[in-house]
Amino acid sequence: MTADRRRPKPPRAVKPRAEELTLTIEGIDEDGLGVAAHEGKPVVVFDALPGEKVVARVTHAGRYRVFATTQRILQPSPQRASRHPCPHFRNCQSCAILSWQYAAQLAGKQKRVADALAVYPALSKVAPGGIWAAPEGFGYRASAKLVVARKRGRPQVGMYRRGSHDVVDIADCPLHHPLINRVAAVVREELERRSISAYDANQRRGLLRYLLVRVSPTYDKAMVTFVTSERNYSEVTNLAKWLQRKVPEVISVHQNVNAGSGNVILGRETYKMLGTPDLIDKVGDVRLRLGPTSFLQVHHAQAARIYRQVRDWCDLRPGESALDLYCGVGGISLHLAASARQVLGVETVAEAVRHAQVNARMNGFDNCRFIAGDVEEILGDEFPLAEKPGAVVVNPPRSGCSQQVLSAIAAMQPRKLIYVSCHPDSLARDLAVLVEHGFRVAEVQPVDMFPQTPHVENIARLVCAADSPPTGATVPRRARGQR
């Protein structure tokens, strides 16, 4: 066949370029993303600060919102940091406000809390105090949950990219305690050398799913948990032995088995493999024994400050008892024990209660008692303290307290109520309900527990006004169901 009679090749398909938008950023949302408008539809933009004019590439166009990432900054904000220490920032996208100068981060979080409180007429006169800045803006995270995967045969140990299941390999996260980064580097190195399979969620096969590292900054020791899809002894044990040889600060290694197909990280069964069963740490004035699934705030310096503030605000009188709801491993309870006649802690996680009991004995307190069970059910039964508590402390999960729990607390009429919260919206909603029950919000103190991220912790001090009528404040219907 001659050349001129050959069939011409079809033109190569050209991938269409993602749409780019020129936007003026009007504000920032609770996830730390810039907010703009385009053709009547809101656009949320990664790495965009209020007041900036940017060119952003559309990453997903939903029915009601558009998601985009800044490509070029046409008019930068004076609050934009000149540089930041993370090479993974644009791939990982976990530290959404890393580009803000730290003073601007604090101002944004302060406004976030004030805006949440302003939704409720009952809280119209409540202004948050000046936010407590963190003494450490980097290297503060004492625990990490890292995803393990393989890409083109190469091991990846890192984070899911925001809004996806794509794993971003993080060689050296600037927010993590240096010991966490050392552990992750050694595990990645060993996975490179060995043929241990990483779990593939799409194929539902593979062994190693997650790497959990918990560090005691006080004693410079670490606990490591390998989350696997099945019980495995030989491969994971060899990996654990290699890790302990390379990083002798790792004094405890566990294996957790999670055979499920969902996004839950931990399974029900955890097995000690090497070393000690627990990790000893110290936060504030107390020593704490922690297990592989124990919850503890990641920023030790700020957690210690919160614990001491809660103790001071409770201001227990001689002979008074305290009730600590959602007590975890007992960090707040043990700070109250020195001045309380008795402290009762209630926690849903049985392992946390076991550690709280051990921690009370380790710190020499015999006036602490801990109960495992649903807080709502326990408060619904016969009151577990012999007398009315002088102070009640609540430190609920992100969703806040149920109406039943708030009503049960109000029925006790404690002299002081301290509410520790990790979410401004659920805090404001619950404070408005407590005002309806006759409490007065005396103070709200924001705390920067997570620098470089949009999250903000709060402590609220309420006093019981049992001898005065309820305020009659109403909770807006649209906000009752907020989480």
Does the residue 85 lie in any domain?
no
- State yes or no: pLDDT of 15 exceeds 50: no
| pLDDT at residue number 152 | 87
Q: Which residues 6+ apart lie within 8 Å of 235 measured at CB?
A: 194, 196, 207
Tell me: the pLDDT tens digits for 184-204?
A: 999 999 999 988 899 988 888
Amino acid type, 287? R
Answer yes or no: do 158 and 180 share one domain.
yes
| pLDDT at residue number 477 | 33
The per-residue DSSP string of 295-325 comes to ---S-HHHHHHHHHHHHHHH-PPTT--EEEE
Beta bridge partners of 306: none
Answer yes or no: do 306 and 443 share one domain.
yes
pLDDT band at 472 (very low <50, low <70, confident <90, very high): very low
Answer yes or no: do 225 and 328 share one domain.
no
Sign of CA dihedral 16, 18, 19, 21: negative
Cα separation, 145 vs 139, in Å, equals 15
Total domain count, the chain: 3
Q: Which residues 6+ apart lie within 8 Å of 316 measured at CB?
A: 322, 336, 339, 340, 390, 391
Answer yes or no: do 339 and 232 share one domain.
no
Amino acid type, 341? R
Answer yes or no: do 412 and 460 share one domain.
yes
Task: Give me the torsion for CA of 44, 446, 338, 366, rounded to 10°.
Answer: -20
Query: Contact at 8 Å (CB) between 455 and 449?
Result: yes
Q: Vertex 137, ends 136 and 139: CA angle to 5°?
A: 75
Answer yes or no: do 304 and 368 share one domain.
yes
| pLDDT at residue number 354 | 95
| pLDDT at residue number 465 | 76
Q: How many Cβ atoms from other residues are within 10 Å of residue 109's Cβ?
A: 27
| pLDDT at residue number 469 | 39
- State yes or no: pLDDT of 3 exceeds 90: no
Tell me: the pLDDT tens digits for 350-409?
A: 999 999 999 999 999 999 999 999 999 998 876 667 788 999 999 999 999 999 999 999
Question: What is the pairing mode between strands 279-283 and 286-290?
Answer: antiparallel
Which of 277, 298, 324 marks a domain boundary? Answer: 277
Q: List, by residue number, the catalytic residues.
A: 422
Which of 245, 277, 309 marks a domain boundary? Answer: 277
* Higher-pLDDT residue of 466, 22: 22
CATH number of the structural domain spanning residue 390: 3.40.50.150
Cα separation, 143 vs 141, in Å, equals 6
pLDDT band at 10 (very low <50, low <70, confident <90, very high): low
| pLDDT at residue number 385 | 72
Give the predicted TM-score (pTM) of the model. 0.90
| pLDDT at residue number 383 | 64
Answer yes or no: do 273 and 298 share one domain.
no
- State yes or no: pLDDT of 481 exceeds 70: no
- State yes or no: pLDDT of 11 exceeds 60: no
Answer yes or no: do 355 and 375 share one domain.
yes
Does the residue 93 lie in any domain?
no
| pLDDT at residue number 2 | 47
Does the residue 150 lie in any domain?
yes
Answer yes or no: do 45 and 124 share one domain.
no
pLDDT band at 9 (very low <50, low <70, confident <90, very high): low
Cα separation, 335 vs 310, in Å, equals 8
**Inter-CA distances, 442 with 60, 121, 132, 427, 464, Å:** 44, 16, 18, 14, 10
| pLDDT at residue number 17 | 58
Does the residue 13 lie in any domain?
no
Q: Which residues 6+ apart lie within 8 Å of 182 measured at CB?
A: 247, 249
| pLDDT at residue number 467 | 37
Three-state SS for 102? helix
Does the residue 258 lie in any domain?
yes
Query: Contact at 8 Å (CB) between 48 and 40?
Result: no
Does the residue 113 lie in any domain?
no
| pLDDT at residue number 50 | 96
Tell me: the pLDDT tens digits for 208-239?
A: 999 999 999 999 999 999 999 999 888 999 99
Answer yes or no: do 270 and 288 share one domain.
no
Query: Contact at 8 Å (CB) between 199 and 209?
Result: yes
In degrees rounded to 5, what are phi and psi of residue 290?
-120, 140
Q: Vertex 442, ends 426 and 348: CA angle to 5°?
A: 40
Query: Contact at 8 Å (CB) between 253 and 275?
Result: yes
Does the residue 97 lie in any domain?
no
| pLDDT at residue number 483 | 29
Return the residue matching tokens 């890192």. Answer: 158
- State yes or no: pLDDT of 268 exceeds 60: yes
Mean model confidence pLDDT for the chain: 91
Cα separation, 370 vs 350, in Å, equals 10
pLDDT band at 23 (very low <50, low <70, confident <90, very high): very high
Question: What is the pairing mode between strands 343-347 and 368-372?
Answer: parallel
Tell me: the pLDDT tens digits for 411-436?
A: 999 999 999 999 999 999 999 999 99
CATH number of the structural domain spanning residue 29: 2.40.50.140
Tell me: the pLDDT tens digits for 119-169?
A: 999 999 999 999 999 999 999 999 999 999 998 889 999 999 888 888 999
Which of 277, 308, 334 marks a domain boundary? Answer: 277
Answer yes or no: do 227 and 205 share one domain.
yes
Does the residue 451 lie in any domain?
yes
Cα separation, 396 vs 50, in Å, equals 32
CATH number of the structural domain spanning residue 270: 2.40.50.1070
Tell me: the pLDDT tens digits for 54-96?
A: 999 999 999 899 999 999 999 999 999 998 899 999 999 999 9
Answer yes or no: do 147 and 238 share one domain.
yes
Q: 379 is in which domain, residue-wise?
A: 118-134+284-480
Three-state SS for 50? coil
Percent of the chain with pLDDT over 70: 92
